[in-house]
Amino acid sequence: MPASPPAPQTAAAAAAPAAAQARVSVREVTMAYGSFVVMKDLTFDIQAQDIFVIMGGSGCGKSTLLRHLIGLREPARGQVFYDGENFTAADDEGREKFIRRFGVMYQSGALWSSLTLAENIALPLQEFTPLSAKDIRDLAAYKLALVGLSGYEDYYPSQVSGGMNKRAGIARAMALDPDILFLDEPGAGLDPLSSRRLDDLILRLRDSLGSTVVIVTHELASIFAIANNSVFLDTETRTLGAVGNPSELRDHSDNPNVRRFLNRGAESESPVSSS
Ligand SMILES: Nc1ncnc2c1ncn2[C@@H]1O[C@H](COP(=O)(O)OP(=O)(O)OP(=O)(O)O)[C@@H](O)[C@H]1O
């Protein structure tokens, strides 16, 4: 069947102007490793400037979904659209244009240990822009300033804290001014204070740069502090358990697995009445 843009989900959406198009639309995506189906029939939207969390229990497929969103894996079925354009069906050249709009920080954080923080950020600028060495140096310093690391340009990753490494990783993901930042477990391994600082930074970046941020995490404090939208991957049913604002899902989802997860394992027997 030919690929078609995602259908509007409501009458209001149908009447909305093109500018209201979801930034990311996932349509009936099934993810599999060979014959092992991780999740099936995922359909949800991520809006521009969302801080959108992919959540669920260990091994449910959060990182796998992230890999599908950035094109590292192909859906076994279904499609992913960016601003209504079919990413899954794009040829290599078309796909490259999408990927240039993504900034990605992987779970490991993975800065090059033999390069300074500024050199780490300069790397994608050297590879993908025609900028002069001086402009690249200035831009790397600017990106580090955005994440609160002014003055640390010449430090090596081993000379700064874990939280600072994560912030530098975010600066590197932002090097090419992406529309969408993908962060895989950004708070992993951080103490609570550093983790909170990272949350504040993510909020500030969204507000000042207007980025859309997609985050894989299972840290509830972070989820409630920063996410306005989310998807819950349900290991039990191997499909989407809920989509929406995490605080609302915690109190009102009709899926007990969602409420249990968002209430730290202490499931409320029935949804809290919103009236
Ligand atoms: N390359 C792979 N080949 C085969 N199976 C894989 C591969 N990567 C992940 N899996 C399996 O797919 C499932 C989902 O893995 P994934 O890492 O996406 O889950 P996750 O929710 O991110 O887990 P965690 O919370 O532990 O990081 C798991 O059962 C995992 O063992």
Q: What is the pLDDT of residues 8-24, one digit of tens each?
A: 444 334 333 344 689 99
The answer to whether position 58 is within a domain reads: yes
Q: How far is CA 130 from CA 97, 98, 105, 208, in A?
A: 17, 19, 23, 26
What is the pLDDT at residue 147?
Answer: 87
For 7, which DSSP code?
P
**Mutational test site, ligand 1, from 62, 107, 182, 217, max ligand atoms within 8 Å of CB:** 62
What is the pLDDT at residue 89?
Answer: 95
What is the pLDDT at residue 135?
Answer: 95
The answer to whether position 131 is within a domain reads: no
The CATH number that applies at residue 258 is 3.40.50.300
Written in H, E and C, the secondary structure of 145-211 is HHCCCCCCCCCCHHHCCHHHHHHHHHHHHCCCCCCEEEEECCCCCCCHHHHHHHHHHHHHHHHHHCC
What is the pLDDT at residue 192?
Answer: 86
- Supply the range of the domain harboring residue 224: 23-101+218-262
- Identify the segments of the chain with pLDDT beneath 50: 1-3, 8-19, 269, 274-275
Closest CA to ligand 1's atom 2: 33
What is the pLDDT at residue 274?
Answer: 47
Adjacency order of strands within the sheet including 85-86? 85-86, 77-82, 24-33, 36-46, 239-243, 229-234, 51-56, 212-216, 180-184, 102-105
261 close to 219: Cβ distance less than 8 angstroms: no
Q: Which atom of ligand 1 is nearest to the CA of 185?
A: 27
The answer to whether position 61 is within a domain reads: yes
Q: How far is the CA of 12 from the centre of ligand 1 (A)?
A: 37
The single-letter code of the amino acid at 37 is: V
The answer to whether position 192 is within a domain reads: no
Domain total in the chain: 1
The answer to whether position 65 is within a domain reads: yes
Would you tell me how many other CB atoms lie within 10 Å of the CB of residue 58?
A: 7
- Cα 12–Cα 206–Cα 231 angle in degrees, nearest 5: 55
**Mutational test site, ligand 1, from 58, 63, 69, 231, max ligand atoms within 8 Å of CB:** 63
Closest CA to ligand 1's atom 8: 64
The answer to whether position 202 is within a domain reads: no
The answer to whether position 106 is within a domain reads: no
Predicted confidence (pLDDT) per residue in 64-115, tens digit = 999 999 999 999 999 999 999 999 999 988 998 899 899 999 876 678 999 9
Residues enclosing ligand 1, CB less than 6 A?
33, 38, 56, 58-64, 218
Give the separation between CA 111 and CA 207, rounded to whole angstroms: 26
The answer to whether position 146 is within a domain reads: no
Residue 80, φ and ψ in degrees, nearest 5: -120, 130
